[in-house]
Structure 1
Amino acid sequence: MIDDVDLGVRLQVACSLGNSKRPEAGHALAALAVDNAADPMIRVAVMSSPPHHFITLAERALGQGVLVDELIKVAGAKNHAAIEALVTRLSQPGKEGFHAMQFQSLSHWADLHPQASVRLSHVFGEARKIVRMPGGSSPLKIAAISLLGREENKFKSDRDLLGELLILSESSEMKFAVIEALSRMAGPDIPRLLIGSWSGCFPRERSKIMDTLLQRKEWSMAMLEAIGQGQISPEAVDVSRRQILRTHADTGIKKMAEELFPSHGGLTRARQLEKFRSALELKANPKNGRAVFNRACAHCHLSVKGLPMNGPDLRSITERSKEGLFTSILNPNESVDPSYFGYSVTLKDGQMLFGRVLAEKENNLTLRLLDGSDRQIFRKRIKGLEASGRSLMPDGLELGMTHQNLADLIGFLQIFGREGE
């Protein structure tokens, strides 16, 4: 029955096998889990089952290179002794050396148990050898990067090694992994490396750098100083990130951000609405409005690969009057669904993250960051959580538009999701 074509049958079988303590049930459950690793419902059923089949399931999953991260997460949350066996297996190279999956899973485990990662010293050493090897951005090399910066006595050498990879010729995937590894390390040299690589980075890479610099107040100040000195153009900082800096809890950062990014030339929201109101009288071109939407709105209001959006689905809104859309665009905080509030999350290691809370569970929450990526955070790592009371959609979106752009955008939104749009 584990091969039944009906998903509902396989789901029921998974639940039944999980509740049985018979060894053959464990082997059947492991086979079912591995064969259906891509199905989210099967994964949930398997991972929520009692722990008596964990070893059998882990051995089968390791053999196929699937579900390992989920198993680490489940075992860690339940503090199950079987995690030791799993980590030991992952720490041993195969006949052809380590695989990317092993490094990725051990990186995940080290995230959850940073103090216990000393036992992985030999793995970290092998990872450094792979990172130093000449060549492109193979999955193994990218996975190896995720293990660097985890040993305090190797911080300096790891930092220097990672810094050598922040060059124009390296792939974005490689640089994303490097930036993520550097973000775990403290000290003033990290923002210096990131800012120093700015001129050789493409837009998505620059967004990743900015969001990393926003994670610590000292790094945020370093970014503002770089903007003030001309190393980073003020225009590179979008309105969402400007708003985070202008409303920062640190008074020094807030003051400097207000000087570098004057808030709409001193105009209040009410005056800004009046300044753009004549756009309501212009004839709209919805086709041009689509281009404005793609540039200014799609990042938050269109789903990517079926993932939740950072803002409401504008194809299903009922209030489509010109006046209503005009107010929603120019004054997004007039009426805000609390589920779209921005949250500042401060971690115990000093990192500060900002985004929308997508999901809350007993042991963790999932935060959607401004770059569209999701970050799962264990509650025990959180020092503080504060709702901004404001929409994630920032004031000032209209500053990059002409009156005609705004009219066209409103015209497009009035038909978005209808008539094939």
Structure 2
Amino acid sequence: MSVKQQIIRQFSFGLDEKSGSALEPYILALEQSGDPGLISELAQLRSKLHLNTSPEFLQLSQAALRKVNDKSMSESFRLQQLSLIELLPYEVKSDVLFQCLSNTEPLKLQENALRQLSKYNEQEIGKKIVDIWNELSPQTRRYASDLLLYVETHHDALLTGLENGQINIGEMNFDLERRRTLLWWTDNEETKRRAEKLFTDSGVTNRKEAIDQMKPALALNGSVLDGANVFENICSNCHIFGKTGNEVGPTLTEIGRKSKETNLHDILDPNAGVDTKYINHRLETNDGVVHLGIVSNETDENITIKKPGGESVTIYKSNIKEFRSLGTSLMMEGLENSITHQEMADLLAFLQSGVE
């Protein structure tokens, strides 16, 4: 942003619409500069002062619609073009904004397109975002989740996506404040009713039956030594505990402070409260090679996938055929089918032992 733009933005904070008629001649003079950034900032000032949009800005913004998605142009130029369409009506620019959400687009372009979309209350916005949820990049999905949660118009689309499995509940990072947005901080009783079926004020539990079936393990005496073997055979492919394992999922440094009940829940229901950093993704390259794992790094040029076992692979975005979230934790559900009550008791004993 140029110095002139910054001055205009700061200057506009102290103005109201009563200042419009007095300032318009000076705004007109500045618009003759032909500077796109300056004309864009002046358009924001015109909007605040309830002045008509200038012909210069209309001309620039109409041209910008054709340039925003031109991948041959630089990121900074495309971001400037995106800012030039900010005051256009939603129906005029919606297709352009959703094209910006492709996971091969620069991250800033995706973020700014979502910021513009968040200013509108059209219900189709939430529905479209849910439909393309799995194709959004991990960083963009964080902004998209805020749009779905904090713009009440989109609550129906969010809840429908959760109910239908289009969005995994663990991906939404439903901490207490986010849960209460749907449970208590809304006046819509239907939203509250639907949210209560998905989670409570105290937390999220998806696999109650599996947890209930494994509860007898809590009453058994566990062997720390045998539990170390269970950990090495089952858990060490993705977790580090002490000097054992591979750092793919979370390192289990603090796990010994948790109760056996909490650890049992976390092991059997990994998708209830999964950190979004550990959501599993599927990436297919143009030559048909498929990689599964978590996204450990993403830039505008490439994506790094860390696989179970600790191997990392970096793929240029230009070589990606398909990239999508699988919507679940890298830690798979169903461990209860391959472990006995005694083995679970041993594993829990080992994790609480402090042996590292």
Normalised to the residue count of structure 1, the TM-score between the two structures is 0.43
Could you say which structure has the greater relative contact order, defined with CA pairs below 8 angstroms and 6 or more residues apart? Answer: 2
